[in-house]
Copies of this chain bind each other. A is one copy, B any other.
């Protein structure tokens, strides 16, 4: 897919019959949890969910942010291979959690040509990341508010703020399924606002009945840290004793300790392999 710098360049090539051809892309919501310092030697870091966005420089998306993605090579690549190729390019990581999310296919989601996009969720432990990639930036999810089936998200990378809102229209009563419709979105290209919300909801949902959050944890962690990650994903406060009981048989105590935190040191745990 050729990139255009200006509208003129774009229009010169433009041919509406392009719309009769079909292309596919994969878009990846790469999600992680970051630590924000609290300026209090006693307090633990505040955890926030964050998502990796890339700034587009080409027409007609100029200066809009979007999820990392790429066109599928139909000759010899599966969608997941395509997604892993993008992941490698953007994070230099392989072997990370990747799950097919949903196939987005609104006809006008790309003004250039008909593109169907299969989106993925990738989860990573941010500690594994080395350097920053050009044009890419981690955005913390500052707030998620839902009122009368309108969800408003605010993201920030400490330089820019991105906010958008999405209407959840009830489509199906028996299974409580909603269709997401963009209500306001100035900063994100395509339908990536919808992809981001879908990804967040998927992870939140799976956190309740799987061990998915361990994909965002380092090898060793304290139960307090783990609880904080659960709390930020589930978007609610948990009670310590209850949390510890539930998590107990999923983790393994090591004899390592975390000290120097201005309060009682804590044991480090690891995810328990066998079950």
Give the bracket for the number of chain A residues in contact with chain B.
35 or more
Please, could you name 16 A-B residue pairs with CB atoms under 8 Å apart, sorted by A?
A20-B74, A22-B24, A24-B24, A77-B107, A78-B106, A79-B116, A99-B177, A100-B102, A100-B103, A105-B118, A173-B273, A174-B214, A175-B206, A175-B210, A175-B211, A175-B212
> Is the CB–CB distance between A107 and B174 below 8 Å?
no
**C-alpha spacing A149/B137, complex, angstroms:** 41
A155 lies within 8 A of chain B by Cβ: no
> Is the CB–CB distance between B210 and A75 below 8 Å?
no
Number of identical monomers bound together in the oligomeric complex: 2
Distance in angstroms from A208 CB to nearest chain B CB is 10
A23 lies within 8 A of chain B by Cβ: yes
**C-alpha spacing A211/B215, complex, angstroms:** 31
Residues from chain B with Cβ under 8 Å of A118 in the complex: 103, 105, 116
> Is the CB–CB distance between A212 and B103 below 8 Å?
no
As a 0/1 sequence over residues 163 to 176 of chain A, the CB contacts with chain B under 8 angstroms (1 = contact) are 00000000011111
Distance in angstroms from A156 CB to nearest chain B CB is 29
A14 lies within 8 A of chain B by Cβ: no
**C-alpha spacing A107/B77, complex, angstroms:** 7
Residues from chain B with Cβ under 8 Å of A215 in the complex: 174
**C-alpha spacing A206/B78, complex, angstroms:** 28
A76 lies within 8 A of chain B by Cβ: yes
A178 lies within 8 A of chain B by Cβ: no
Residues from chain B with Cβ under 8 Å of A20 in the complex: 74-75
Residue in chain B with minimal CB distance to A109:
B78
Residue in chain B with minimal CB distance to A79:
B105
Distance in angstroms from A33 CB to nearest chain B CB is 15
**C-alpha spacing A59/B211, complex, angstroms:** 46
A244 lies within 8 A of chain B by Cβ: no
As a 0/1 sequence over residues 65 to 100 of chain A, the CB contacts with chain B under 8 angstroms (1 = contact) are 000000010111111100000000000000001011
> Is the CB–CB distance between A210 and B174 below 8 Å?
yes
A114 lies within 8 A of chain B by Cβ: yes
Given A24-B22, A102-B100, A116-B79, also A210-B176 (CB < 8 A): yes
